[in-house]
Amino acid sequence: MRAVMYRGFGDEPELVEVERPACPPRGAIVRVRATGLCRSDWHGWMGHDAGVALPHVPGHEFAGEIAELGTDVPDDSGWTVGDRVTAPFICACGRCAECRSGNEQVCDAQRQPGFTHWGSFAEYVVVDEAALNLIRLPDTLGFVEAASLGCRFATAYRAIITRGRLHPGEQVAVHGCGGVGLSAIMIAVAAGVPVYGVDVSDAALAAAAELGATPIRGGEGAADRVRAASDGGVDLSVDAFGSPATSFASVRSLRKRGRHVQIGLMLADDATAAMPMDAVIDGELEILGSHGMAAHEYPDMLGAVASEAFRPIELVGRTIALDAVPAALAAMGRAGGAGSGMTVVEL
């Protein structure tokens, strides 16, 4: 099969021919039809994820068709070859304490395509524990739109609705208006609340405004500008980029008893970024993490997409071919190089 591979962290990825992966007894092989290009893929390429072993094929936001089912997948699982599917980027084991409590998104033995094993920048990808982790796609949902839900939209949905506990009448700030940030803005705007989109990029701010957010210039003083625009601070603020500056500004944007949700990855030297703990204590602020979404939570989101309560296809900035992935991945490390909106690879 064709796949995009890098042999060293930071080395130029290449389009190569490799063997199709073997199907695990309890897993499945999915024929990839579309897969998203995400900043998490860039972090893995840079060596910021300890789970990545070289050589490596990245990619973790995918949609496609079941090409093969493992011999130990139960007959009553409901899955057959040819079914249109996606999967969470965190594939759970189904047996650990977290899985038994319904929190598969923080599974103790999780597998992550594109990180713990080869991913979806390829014609085929492995999904472990198929009966638990495969998600059926509505007939009305195309592969490109389904791939755009994979990491960014699903993560944003859970961060705003479940972890952020958004209520009517509240105000929301989203720091970082890339793929996951614009997803968060779309979800919050659909809830009918005032939303402020914060970024340093003119294109990203324009995209946020087009979705219904009030654009706020990022960088130094961003938190003060959010507090001024929201008359004292927002109730829910999200760092959708992942940096010491954006996470700090997100917390500083909150009014008393507000909630900060960290979506953007904080890795390598940023993993121990400073927080304004004086404000956290004085204002009884909450600092929350959000790590993807479990497969059993997808139906509500997919139902909302099918009913057009949200239109994530509008967040797709461009589609590219598999051979364009190396250049697109490299561009994510340059200021403004990723462009606005999501990039989805069509196979």
H, E, C per residue of 315-326: HEEEEECHHHHH
SS3 243: coil
pLDDT at 267: 77
Is residue 159 situated within a structural domain? no
Confidence class for position 285, pLDDT limits 50, 70, 90? very high
Number of structural domains the chain divides into: 2
Phi, psi of 156 (to 5 degrees): -65, -40
Distance CA 137, CA 204 (A): 29
Pair 172, 251 in one domain: yes
- Structure confidence by residue, pLDDT tens digits, 172-197: 999 999 888 999 999 999 999 999 99
Q: Is it the case that residue 270 has pLDDT exceeding 90?
A: no
| CA–CA distance, 345 with 317 (Å, rounded to integer) | 11
- pLDDT at position 235 is 98
Question: Can you tell me which residue has the tokens 């009448």?
Answer: 169
Is the pLDDT reported for residue 119 higher than 80? yes
pLDDT tier, 341 (very low <50, low <70, confident <90, very high otherwise): low
> Does residue 339 surpass a pLDDT of 70?
no
Low-confidence winner among 80-84, 140-144, 218-222 (lowest mean pLDDT): 140-144
pLDDT reported for residue 198: 97
Q: Are residues 284 and 304 in the same domain?
A: no
E strands, the chain, where? 2-5, 14-17, 28-37, 61-69, 84-86, 124-127, 135-136, 172-175, 195-199, 214-217, 234-239, 254-262, 286-289, 316-320, 342-346
pLDDT at residue 268 in the model: 77
Residues 179 and 42 in one domain: no
Q: What is the pLDDT of residue 263?
A: 92
Q: What is the average pLDDT across 268-272?
A: 81
Answer yes or no: do 93 and 10 share one domain: yes
> What is the mean predicted confidence (pLDDT) over 211-222?
95
Give the mean pLDDT of the chain: 92
Indicate whether 33 pLDDT > 60.
yes
Model confidence, pTM:
0.85
Tell me the Cα Rg of the chain: 19
Average pLDDT over residues 111-140: 95
The CATH number that applies at residue 107 is: 3.90.180.10
Residues 103, 130 within the same domain: yes
Q: For residue 199, what are the CA distances in angstroms to 73, 181, 214, 220?
A: 46, 10, 11, 11
pLDDT at 315: 82
CA distance 166 to 159: 9
Specify the pLDDT at position 230. Answer: 97
Q: What is the secondary structure of 37-96 as a DSSP string?
A: E-HHHHHHHTT--TT--SSB----EEEEEEEEE-TTS-GGG---TT-EEE--SSB--S-S
Residue 26 domain boundaries: 2-153+293-346
Residues 20 and 136 in one domain: yes
Contact 315, 148 (CB under 8 A): yes
The confidence band for 62, taking pLDDT boundaries of 50, 70 and 90, is very high
Rounded mean pLDDT, 268-284: 89
What residues contact residue 29 under an 8 Å CB cut-off, 6+ apart? 20, 21, 23, 66, 67, 68, 124, 125, 126, 127
Q: What is the DSSP letter of 305?
A: H
What pLDDT, on the 0 to 100 scale, is given for residue 338?
53
**Of the residues 289, 314, 335, which one is the last residue of a structural domain?**
289
The answer to whether residue 1 scores a pLDDT higher than 60 is: yes
d(CA 242, CA 265): 5
**Same domain, yes or no: 125 and 171:** no
